[in-house]
Every structure is written in C-alpha cells, then in structure tokens.
Amino acid sequence: MGFMLDKVVPWGRSFDEYVRMFDLSAADLQQRILGCGDGPAEFNAELSRAGGCVISFDPIYVFNTAQIRSRISETYEAVMNQIRLNWADYLWETISSVEDLGRIRMSAMDGFLTDFETGRLEGRYIAGELPFLPFENQSFDLALSSHFLFLYSEHLTAEFHLQSLREMLRVANEVRVFPVLTLDGKPSQHLNSVTACLKEDGYCAELKSVPYEFQRGANQMLVIKPSAFTN
Ligand SMILES: C[S@@+](CC[C@H](N)C(=O)[O-])C[C@H]1O[C@@H](n2cnc3c(N)ncnc32)[C@H](O)[C@@H]1O
C-alpha cells in the first residue's frame, strides 16, 4: 500500500540533507534563501550560525518551542511505524537502520528547537501558509520546498501546487522542489500539468539529479526559473 499519513506532519531533515537534496553549492549557500514548509528546520539554524541569510516559512511557527516539541513527539511513532512497514522503499546506506534514522531526525529537530526562539525574534522563522507568502517581489534568490509540494499530492490539489509555485516565483528568482515523488513513491500526478502551466507563464522547469536518495527513486529535484536565465 505504501507510506500513508493522514495529514502533513512536522518532521525535519538535517542541514546536510538539505545541502544534498537541493545540490546547494557554496555560492548557493551565500544567497538569500527562503524555505517554504520548512518545519523543524535545522537548515535554518545551521546556516544562520554560519552567517548565511535564510528565512523559513511554516504554519507550525505560530506555536512555541514546547508546543512544537510535543507535536514532534506525537508524530515520531507514526512516522517511524510507517517507515518500518515500508522499510524496502528506502535505501539504507548513509542512514543504516530505522533506529539510526530516528536518531538523525531527532538530532536535527533538536538543533532547530534550540534555535527557534532566537530565530523567531530575529525574523528567521515566519508563520504562515502557502499558497500566500508575506514577502516583497523578488526578495530572495532561491526558494526551496522540501518534502511538502508534490510529496503530499494526495492531500493538496494541482491548483494549490500551481498557486504556491507561482507565489514562490514571485518572491524568488529560482525555485527548487524535492522530491517530486508522492509519499508512496510514485511520480506526482500533478507534476506534468503544473510544469506545463509554468512553462506557459515563461518559466523553464527541469528535473535535475541530486546527490541524495533515501526514499527509493527520489533523487531528482525540480528547478524552476525564468526562461531567460537558463543557458
Ligand atoms: C514533512 S514536513 C517537511 C519539513 C522540512 N521541509 C523537511 O524536509 O525536513 C512538511 C511541513 O509542511 C508544513 N506545511 C503544511 N501546510 C503548509 C502550507 N500550507 N504552507 C507551508 N507549509 C505547510 C508542515 O507544517 C510541515 O512542517
């Protein structure tokens, strides 16, 4: 049957995973970055500590640290159970076991929780929901979506995806989305129709291989930018 969750869950990947999922170069990491649906984002905590410029956007940031910690604890067993049930759908190389995965994810989310109050005061964690973003046009170089758009294609319509990506392209020069598979490991049913609309809008939308694969077959990101910028 494949991986199933009845809602979008707060679950966070590590800084190192973000770098590989989005194939971020040293130059990319110096850009103004927006993470949409960033959840418990160690990426923000670590990059900010290293002097980078990153803002994360997610509905869970309306809650305080204790409330987010408790949501993560509630989510933990549900996610780990789904991973155990669908063990063969993952590549157990860099991450060697379900227990190892639990440790890596919890360590990444702890990194976020420790940073959250400071980051919120500094304006690095902004609460809100796609398909609307509270930012000026072109205020970022790069907007990222990890494990939200396309992954939850059963929960979110094609129209929601299109509106969200157009909004991300309004505020950033380039958008990267990873993965483009759904929770049960199939290509998203929205990918072709949404990218066709974006191409009609004048964007170039391409799949690029990345040096990251945990969910089997999920090793490509979608890169969208104005056609004139691609050569
Ligand atoms: C599975 S988590 C992914 C977190 C992080 N990007 C990562 O890859 O580790 C999905 C996130 O999407 C957020 N989310 C749910 N609805 C959203 C919306 N309408 N706009 C932005 N984020 C949303 C959830 O709160 C959750 O933190």
SS3 37: coil
Which atom of ligand 1 is the closest one to the Cα of 58?
A: 22
Confidence of residue 228 (pLDDT cuts 50, 70, 90): confident
Q: Report yes or no: 53 and 124 within 8 Å, Cβ to Cβ.
A: no
Contacts of 149 (CB under 8 A, 6+ apart): 36, 37, 130, 156, 161, 164, 165, 177
Which atom of ligand 1 is the closest one to the Cα of 18?
A: 8
SS3 222: strand
Q: In angstroms, what CA-CA distances link 100 with 95, 104, 110, 178, 220?
A: 6, 6, 15, 22, 24
Closest residue by Cα to atom 11, ligand 1, is: 37
Write down the pLDDT at residue 202.
Answer: 97
User: pLDDT (tens digit, 9 = 90+) per residue, 38-63?
Assistant: 999 999 999 999 999 999 999 999 99
Chain CA centroid to CA 78, Å: 19
Output the pTM of the full model.
0.95
Bigger pLDDT: 138 vs 183? 138
Distance CA 91, CA 87 (A): 9
Distance CA 180, CA 84 (A): 22
Measured at the CA of 67, the angle between CA 61 and CA 72, to 5 degrees, comes to 85
Position 16 pLDDT exceeds 90: yes
User: Which pair of structure tokens corresponds to residue 219?
Assistant: 């090793």
Write down the pLDDT at residue 6.
Answer: 62
Which atom of ligand 1 is the closest one to the Cα of 144?
A: 6
Establish whether residue 148 lines the binding site of ligand 1, counting it when its CB lies within 6 angstroms of any ligand atom.
yes
Position 4 pLDDT exceeds 90: no
Pocket test for ligand 1, best of 3, 7, 8 (most atoms within 8 A of CB): 8
Write down the pLDDT at residue 231.
Answer: 47
User: pLDDT (tens digit, 9 = 90+) per residue, 126-179?
Assistant: 999 999 999 999 999 999 999 999 999 999 999 999 999 999 999 999 999 999
Write down the pLDDT at residue 9.
Answer: 75
SS3 12: coil
Cite the DSSP H helix spans in the chain. Answer: 15-21, 42-49, 65-85, 98-121, 158-171, 191-200
Write down the pLDDT at residue 210.
Answer: 98
What mean pLDDT is reported for the chain?
94
